[in-house]
Structures are given as structure tokens and as C-alpha cells.
Amino acid sequence: MASIQLHDKVFKPYIDRKEVEAIIDAMASDIAKITDDDLLVVIVLNGSMFFATELLQRIKRPWEIDTMRLASYHGGMQSSGQIEFLLDIKAEVNGRNVLLIEDIVDTGRTLAFLHDHFKGLGAQKIMTATLLHKPSQRINDMPVEYIGKDIDDAFVVGFGLDYRELGRNLPEIYVLESWELRIVL
């Protein structure tokens, strides 16, 4: 893996494909142990698109899957704190158990927003599976039941994660070089 440039920034290799696959294999076998027969799986786009498809194909359970789309970074490198609904799910939520599939949990604001949203729709139980998690950045203690990998405070791209809409299709995960010199956009 070599460093890559996206727009004006250089990103260096961080988590290789072998590790990404191992993380997903391990999480899939944990999630497959969920005892609920009726589970609504909600893929939170765009960032989790590759993670969700890889993860869910490994779980041989006939669960309903729906998608929703949120925006919180607005093209920058730090969560804006303003979460915008771009697309909501169509599935019925009332009285059901929900598993949210997230790319990365950073401050946890999005998670809190999603919990409020799904509680408001009458969800009985809400669980979350995330590929990456930045524990040092959390501003709340919203639960995350399935965590692929804890990472330090760093801006990462690849495997669904973007920098200003580029980098999502990279098969591995890269980290911004000179993170300590970042400019908050």
C-alpha cells in the first residue's frame, strides 16, 4: 500500500485489507449470535456502504435491510454537530429491534440522533455495529454493541469513508498524514 492524494491532502496506509476482512469476519460471527428472529438492519449511508455489504453477506439470517442517509461532516474533517437527514428508511419500526450499521463513531452525536429518531418511531431495542470507533472523541456514552476497531483521533478514508467525496472505493483504510497539523474546515 502506498500513500495516496485526495484533493489537497495526502493519506498514508493505516488498516490493510487483510485486517479489514478479519475485523468483519469476527463481527459477523458475533452478530450472527443475535437471538432476535425479527431484526430490522439499517445501513447508515454513505460511509457504511462497503462495510455493510461485506458484513451482511457473511450473516446468513433472513433479516430485513433498509437504508438511510445522513450528513454531518459537510465536506470537512470534523463533525459539524449538525446532522442532516438526506434519506429516511421506509420500513416499519414500531415495536421492532433495530441494528444500525455505521462506518465510524466519532463524537457519538450521530448515534444519539439516531437513537432519538428510532425511539420516536417506537423501536423496542436499538443496537449499533460500527467498523471504527474513536473512543477519545466521544462526548456521550451512547452504547455501541459491536465495534470493529478502536482508533486514535485521526481522520481516515477508504472502505466507504471519504474526504470531500473521494476515497470511498479504496479497498483499504488510509489516515491523513500530519493529523496534528490539520486545518479545521
Q: Report, as residue numbers or ranges, the catalytic residues.
A: 106
Binding-residue total with ligand 5GP (CB under 6 A): 18
Q: How many CB atoms lie within 10 A of CB 169?
A: 11
The strand order across the sheet containing 156-157 reads: 4-6, 9-15, 173-176, 156-157
Position 49 contacts ligand 5GP (CB under 6 A):
no
Answer for which of 108, 114, 118, 174 binds ligand 5GP (CB under 6 A) is: 108
DSSP string, 57-70: HT-----EEEEEEE
Instruction: Write the binding mask 114 to 153 for ligand 5GP: x where contact by CB under 6 A, - elsewhere.
Output: ----------------------------------------
Q: Where are the alpha helices (DSSP H) in 32-179?
A: 49-57, 109-120
Task: Select 56 or 105, whichever has its Cβ closest to ligand 5GP.
Answer: 105
Task: Select 124 or 137, whichever has its Cβ closest to ligand 5GP.
Answer: 137
Residue 12 and residue 78: Cα distance in Å, rounded? Answer: 19
The one segment of 30-38, 61-69, 108-116, 118-126 that binds ligand 5GP by CB under 6 A:
108-116
C-alpha cell of residue 182: 490539520
Q: Which residues bind ligand 5GP (CB under 6 A)?
A: 47, 72-73, 79, 102-110, 155-157, 161-162
